[in-house]
Amino acid sequence: MTKVAIIGAGSTVFTTELVTDILLTPGLEEGSFALVDIDSKRLDLAHRMTEWLIGQTGSGWTVEASTDRTRVLAGSDYVINTIEVAGLANVRHDFDIPMKYGVDQCIGDTIGPGGIFKALRTVPDWFAILHDVEALAPDAMVMNYTNPMSILTLTGLLASDLPVVGLCHSIQHTAQQLAEYLEVPFEELDFAAAGVNHLAWLTELSRSGEDLYPALFERARKQEIYEKDPVRFEMMFQLGYFVTESSGHSSEYVPYFRKRPELVQKFCRSEYLGETGFYANNWPAWRREGDEMLEKILAGEEVFELERGPEFASYIMEAVTHNRPAKIYGNVLNTGLVDNLPQNGVVEVACMVDRGGIQPTHFGYLPTQVAVLCQQYMAVHELMAVALLEEDREAAFHALAVDPLTAAVCSLEEIRQMFDEMVEAEKDYLPEFLYG
């Protein structure tokens, strides 16, 4: 019987999605969930929602919950990490302090000053989780959904012998968006993608053997289409390929769009299309509203559609448990998979999954003009891994110094000042090596 532990289950809406997917997976009609979160109130909501979903599906699953993961981890076949460490206390610092220095972030949780400091807060707890999994569930597959995805996946692989894979939905969602832009059925779209999480590139896009990139270029020249994804279409026009994260996120990973206010005005739009401070200004409310929505579902005041979604976790479980081969995109160690990206960094590539587990596939060479953007992104990951594994404060500063957006805006002296100011503002939540 399958046992799934969800660490950070207080991410209530996402936990609901994952649990729903698993309960609707053919061949997984029974099993047990172990829900863990340090926030007992949100954990209780996730627990009640999971019980409700089990009742709605009529499955043979059971659920237990605890604020102490060591009480429920034992025997887990899969451990899903969705933790958020001190986000509410620091989301303003992650945005406001860099903005003082001209570093304008839209989301700021994966790269940039916000992403780097989120990693510094999160990875020590991530290491503690992996240590407990090694002791209590050494045969478990670990699926990481927490951002910064690449940094957590890389440090997890380096700090443990567990099979860790990073999972995201950006590639499959981007492919669905492109099908809409092209007005073709998604199921008829063939594509290939590789790169780094949130900075992967669709290098092939076709339908029945016909290259669809010329049609996409033509469609994107129409203003009403261009306005739906201005940063990504601009990158496609100039670099030749479409990138796999939203225009807002994508604008943060490269030095072209947010280094001057007039560029933000020209290329960025509202919300996920690049709005300044969008995540910092809205995430606390989204978190609260998500909990309120789930309470209404439990009270019968909202309708909930039972539908298996596109997240990869349940498809991996189905493939492994029943040897039903599946193709996913995973964040894995680059062991010769992408030839012109740093080896032993983390890349996002197509992976086949079956009873033997997750098997990454060889991609080859990325076009040089996009590979170099991934290389700079991966340099940040490598420096962060050194910082966190070796408790090296200078390596953490160097990661911020080579961050593409930060470096496009600030001098090294200004970056040092920003780094020190963020450490001071967030020191109650940071490892001691940064301020001791």
CATH number at residue 76: 3.40.50.720
Question: Has 169 been annotated as catalytic?
Answer: yes
Residues 349 and 408 in one domain: yes
What is the reported pTM?
0.97
Q: Do the domain assignments include residue 30?
A: yes
Q: What is the three-class DSSP state of 308? A: coil
Question: Last residue of some domain: 151, 167, 183?
Answer: 167
Residues 261 and 331 in one domain: yes
Q: Do the domain assignments include residue 301?
A: no
How does pLDDT run across 329-350, given as a tens digit for each residue?
999 999 999 999 999 999 999 9
Is residue 144's pLDDT more than 90?
Answer: yes
CB 189 within 8 A of CB 207: yes
Residues 97 and 146 in one domain: no
How does pLDDT run across 215-265, given as a tens digit for each residue?
999 999 999 999 999 999 999 999 999 999 999 999 999 999 999 999 999
Residues 408 and 391 in one domain: yes
Q: pLDDT tier at 436 (50, 70, 90 boundaries)?
A: confident
User: What b/e string do you get for 40-77 counting C-beta neighbours within 10 Å, with b at 16 or more?
Assistant: eebbebbbbbbbbbbeebebebebebbeebeebbeebb
Residues 94 and 16 in one domain: no
Pairing between strand 199-207 and 210-211? antiparallel
The stretch 193-210 carries a mean pLDDT of: 98
Residues 381 and 414 in one domain: yes
The stretch 5-17 carries a mean pLDDT of: 98
Residues 348 and 334 in one domain: yes
CATH number at residue 183: 3.90.1820.10
Q: Do the domain assignments include residue 283?
A: no
From the candidates 131, 169, 198, 362, give the one annotated as an active-site residue.
Answer: 169
Q: Do the domain assignments include residue 295?
A: no
First to last CA, the chain: 47
Residues 101 and 25 in one domain: no
Q: What is the pLDDT of residue 51?
A: 98
| Total domains in the fold of the chain | 2
> The domain containing residue 192 runs over which residues?
88-110+168-276+311-436
Q: Do the domain assignments include residue 294?
A: no
Residues 177 and 158 in one domain: no
Q: Do the domain assignments include residue 290?
A: no
Residues 144 and 8 in one domain: yes
How does pLDDT run across 33-53, given as a tens digit for each residue?
999 999 999 999 999 999 999
Helix ranges restricted to H, 31-169: 40-57, 87-100, 112-136, 149-159
Residues 155 and 175 in one domain: no
How does pLDDT run across 353-399, given as a tens digit for each residue?
999 999 999 999 999 999 999 999 999 999 999 999 999 999 999 99
